[in-house]
Amino acid sequence: MRLLDFGCGPGTITIDLAEHLLPCGSVVGIDNSSTVIDQARARSDEKGTQNISFEVRNIYETGYGAETFDAVYAHQVLQHLSEPIRALSEAKRVLKPRGICAAREVDWGTVALWPTDERLLAFLDVYSRVAARNGGDASAGRQLKEWFIQAEFSDLEVTTSNWSFSDQKGLKWWGEQWSERILHSELGKRAIDYGIATDHGLEEISQAWLDWVNAPGAFFAFIQVEVIGVSG
């Protein structure tokens, strides 16, 4: 089996996929960022994974021949794209007849958050608005089935799961991550550039996440939507 990881990022999942396909299968991971592809290659080299390669490619026009891969996987990729159906159509093009395409997308519109904090509600608003200005959709999960239909995949299987954080380890990981990212990532930078938030507002959001980590009864969850489709 030859599998394509569509929008592989730093390669964490790609490497896991490659290990599952040993000894006969192989994986190619693609991303449009040379920086993250370099990170993926370094991670793969460190682990000594042999049945894997990483390439800088355009998701909309990968440059691969038709019917090259047995399966395509996209994890939390389509939500960031302005043309997700076009990307899925390219995935379908490079799949062999009856090849499998699988995708998983979060739906930020399904967030269950406790305790309620106006600053964290502001975070959800900032996240969604920045995603929209970037051309993506923070509530991509609910649209995933429709996108597969529009890309003309057949035999769809649709499932849902969830990510939830309630124990102290999970709360700390989730809360501290967003406390940092809202100030020191493209999310925060673009929120300022787009006029969606102010420096002070982002600092308030950052502190809110830290407060939430230690709040009695703290809880966070949202839905993930998974779709598997068949080409041809």
Please state the pTM of the whole predicted model: 0.92
232 residues of the chain, pLDDT tens digit each:
999 999 999 999 999 999 999 999 999 999 999 999 999 999 999 999 999 999 999 999 999 999 999 999 999 999 999 999 999 999 999 999 999 999 999 999 999 999 999 999 999 999 999 999 999 999 999 999 999 999 999 999 999 999 999 999 999 999 999 999 999 999 999 999 999 999 999 999 999 999 999 999 999 999 999 999 999 8
What domains does the chain contain, in order, with CATH numbers?
A: 58-230 (3.40.50)
pLDDT for position 232: 82
pLDDT for position 55: 98
pLDDT for position 109: 96
Burial of 171-180, coded b for 16+ CB within 10 Å and e otherwise, reads beebbeebbe
Strand partners, 107: 223
